[in-house]
Structures are given as C-alpha cells and as structure tokens.
Amino acid sequence: MPISLATRTLLPALLAASFANGTALAQSAALIAAPTPAANQPYARAVAAGYKAATLCTGVFNAGRSAAAIEGLELRGIYPEYDALVPTLPAIIDRRSASVSVRFAADLPPRRATWRKGAGCTLAPIGSASPAIVTTYAPPPAPTGADPRAWPLGDAGIAPAPSPALAAAVARAFTDDDRSGRTVGVVVVRDGQVVAERYRDGFGPFVANRTWSVAKSISGTLVGMTGTDPMRPANIPEWTSADPRRAITLDNLLRMASGLHSDTAGNRTDAIYFGGTSVTEQAPSWPLEAKPGTRFRYANNDILLAVRSLRAGLGDAAMDRLPPRLFATLGMTHTVAQRDWQGNYILSSDVWSTARDLARLGQLWLQDGVWQGARILPVGWMRYMTTPSGPQPDRAEGYGATMWLFGPKQGLPAGSYAAQGNRGQYVMVVPSARLVVVRRGEDPAGSSFDIARFTADVLAAQR
C-alpha cells in the first residue's frame, strides 16, 4: 500500500518511538529501505546494470581506459550478488553523447550513465527513459597529459630512483593472487619527494580509478576546509525539529557513531551507488537504534549525511565548488568527485583519482593541512581527524574522524594513519618518518592487501 505524504513526514519519529517501545525495528526500516538484491531478482539485475554503466562510463570517459580492459579488471571479482550478472548485461558506449547504456529488462529502459566535463559520470534512476542531466559532449582530457608545473603541484621533476631494497618492496606489491589482490599503482613520497612509483599495465600516473571509501577521508578534509564546528548538531533539512535524530552531531557522523540503523554491516548503500537512488532520498531515512555517540558502526550513510549537512549549511553553489577547489589547490588535476542525479555529492565513495593525486592529498595531511606555505585546514584539524574519541571499532586499528589509526600493534610507528577503501585503496601516512604510501588496487572480493606490512617493508627498505 502506498505511504501517504503525512506518514512519510512523521515516519522518522514513528520509527524512533517504535524502537523505544521495543517493537521490530527491522520491519519498520523495511518501509523506507530499497529492496535487497537477494529479495528481488529484477532489482538485482537493475543494480548490476547500474554498476556496469557507472563503471564503464567513469573508466572510459574519466580514465581513458578501454571497455575490454575495464570488463577484465574493474568489473571482475565485484560484489557476489552482481559478479555473475554483470557479464550477461549488454552495454552500449555512445561517444557522441558521452554515455553508457546497459539493458537489464525487456519492459524498462536501460540503465544509463552520462559524463560531463568537470563532473564525471551521473547515473540516472531506474526507469529513466532519457539522461537525467542534459549534456553537451566535450572530449575528456587525455589521460596521458602531464601538468608542466613542478611537483607537488604538477608532474615536472618526478624522477624516482629507488634503492634496490625499495624497488623490491614495491615490486612485491604487484604479485597478483586471490589473497593479496591486484595492485594497479603505488607511489611512495618521503620528505615531500616521490621516491618510488610503479603501475600495472593499462594504468599510469594519469589514469584514475575509483577511490571507494578513501573518499570518506576527503569528506573529513572538506569539513575542515569550511571551518564548520563538528560538535554542533548536523544540519539535515529532512529531519524536522521534533525528530530525535536532530541530536546527532557532525562529529558523531564523522566518527561512525551516529546510532542510526543501516541495512548491512558496512552499509553498502548499493541503491545510491548503483541503483540511481539519490542521497537525499535514502540516507536521511534510517531510524535510530542506539544513542548517538555510544556505538561504532561503519556506515556509508554517516558520511553521506555529514556531506548533506555541509551542503545545507553552505548552500548549493558553495558546495558545488568545494571539492573542485580542494583538488585545484593541491594540483589534483586528474581527480573528480561525482554526484547523484539530484546534485548530491556521493562523497562516501564516488571519487575518481590517481595514485599521484592521492599522494598529494596525503602530503597535505602530513603537513598538518599546510600547502605551499598556505594553511588549507585549521590549526588542530589533522589532530582532530587522527585522534580516537568515543566508541571504537572491534578490530586492531582505531578510528578517528574519517581516518583509520595504526601504530605498534600493526608494526608501524605510533601516530600512523590511513584513508582506505574497497578493492584495496590506501593512503598511509607515517608522520614520524615523513612518509606517504599510496597503494591503488582492483582487488577481487575476499582478498586482503596488507597495507601495514607493505608500509613496514617500505620503511625498512629506506633505513
């Protein structure tokens, strides 16, 4: 039965009250959650088609890779629900309109992702018969072009000459197997200079791939750039003044401590990433199931809501300019943050970047938010991002505000920290060694690259 507008307006409060009374929270959440792939095979096909359309679009038009190469690497070993489906769904790449269409059903239009210069690819919602955003095609910049400025703003002057020990340590990262994954790029920066760099065939210094959850640490950086007080309640317009979720602070969201329910551990948010559901449709809809600030639960929704709060506070125009401003300041010219069809940045995952660009970002963090003599982040912001506070994950690593925390337990110096993401994306910073290690991967599901051991090997090779 359709849910009335009045019921939708009251639903968050009703769900919170239902939880307080001990009734079935999962049943309540099902009213507002997208159906899961396991429960609905047609929906699984639609999401798989969206996964393929979005990945081909970004790989072809952002990174300049061929469709065959993308299907052989980026679209292999993906989530089990879609891994067998994706190869069966035919894709059409239209270079005139800079779009990719993937058919998944006889009675619905194909899933479609459309590229725009400076904005990357946007995935239209399921059932959309035409692109959600009208675009005029302009060829994307060639992924082979170097920025003529000197490193770190540009690419001139990069001439790594690693020692035999360091070269061997980096080479070991490129041993493909089901356990350690598939490395596509490594950049090592020490004392601000690139000391080692290597890429898989088909990649290189100017070929981007998806950052996945490294984008969460980019979100934490953007919050710092705005000077927003993280201890204030998050500004989520979809939550009314009487909503108990108004007690959730921006700090709770950045530390994965919102107390909000999510559909799965890790909160994959497939509907937003690949289903064409917008951030503002889904992320604000989950009810409380724990008091804010009392429980760590890794959740894409928490970061999506943190960025939603930024957008509400800054306004659309200022928010639109914020990620490009960060990237331009650091010389991250091959990086783009993508949005949903309603204009929301998907900054929990959907950023495309190169290993060099992420090394620049890691260097900003290492330098306490100072870049080329200018302060980009407020004094103390990096300490905030890398200091544990409140509930912590049930694992060896700690968690700050969008950063994973490492130290002697992982065989690394105290104070080490990392941004990390699905399929083996890592930006490790070791402040005491003045070291940034970037490892990019396209690891199949179930593999696990040991970034701590790799970083320790890099450190040992430079002693």
CA pseudo-torsion sign 172, 174, 180, 185: positive
State whether 174 and 109 are in the same domain. Answer: no
d(CA 188, CA 166): 10
The reply to whether 57 falls in a domain is yes
Q: State the average pLDDT over residues 117-135.
A: 81
The reply to whether 137 falls in a domain is no
Q: State the average pLDDT over residues 329-337.
A: 97
Specify the DSSP class assigned to residue 267: -
Identify the band that residue 332 occupies on the pLDDT scale cut at 50, 70 and 90. very high
Q: Please write the tens of the pLDDT for every residue from 82-107.
A: 999 999 999 999 999 999 999 999 99
pLDDT, position 176: 83
Angle at 146 between CA 143 and CA 148, to 5 degrees: 155
Q: What percent of the chain has pLDDT over 70?
A: 88
State whether 108 and 170 are in the same domain. Answer: no
For residue 152, whether the previous peptide bond is cis, meaning omega lies within 30 degrees of 0, is: yes
The reply to whether 459 falls in a domain is yes
The reply to whether 306 falls in a domain is no
Token readout for 73 is 């690497």
Q: Give the number of domains in the chain.
A: 2
Could you tell me the CATH number of the domain that includes residue 386? Answer: 3.40.710.10
d(CA 440, CA 45): 28
Q: Please write the tens of the pLDDT for every residue from 275-300.
A: 999 999 999 999 999 999 999 999 99
pLDDT, position 263: 80
Instruction: Identify the domain boundary among 123, 138, 159.
Output: 123
pLDDT, position 369: 98
d(CA 442, CA 224): 30
pLDDT, position 119: 94
Of 356, 363, 426, the closest CA to residue 149 belongs to 356
Who has greater pLDDT, 88 or 137?
88
Of 308, 274, 223, 204, the closest CA to residue 422 belongs to 274
Return the SS3 of 215. Answer: helix
The reply to whether 434 falls in a domain is yes
Alpha carbon distances (Å) from 283 to 153, 325, 345: 35, 25, 12
Contact 192, 373 (CB under 8 A): no
Minimum mean pLDDT range among 21-30, 78-87, 213-222, 401-410: 21-30
Q: Please write the tens of the pLDDT for every residue from 261-274.
A: 988 777 889 999 99
398 phi/psi in degrees, rounded to 5: -90, 180
Q: Please write the tens of the pLDDT for every residue from 6-42.
A: 333 333 333 333 333 332 333 333 333 444 455 348 9
- Full domain range(s) for residue 383: 149-207+354-463
State whether 117 and 164 are in the same domain. Answer: no
Has residue 342 got a pLDDT over 70? yes
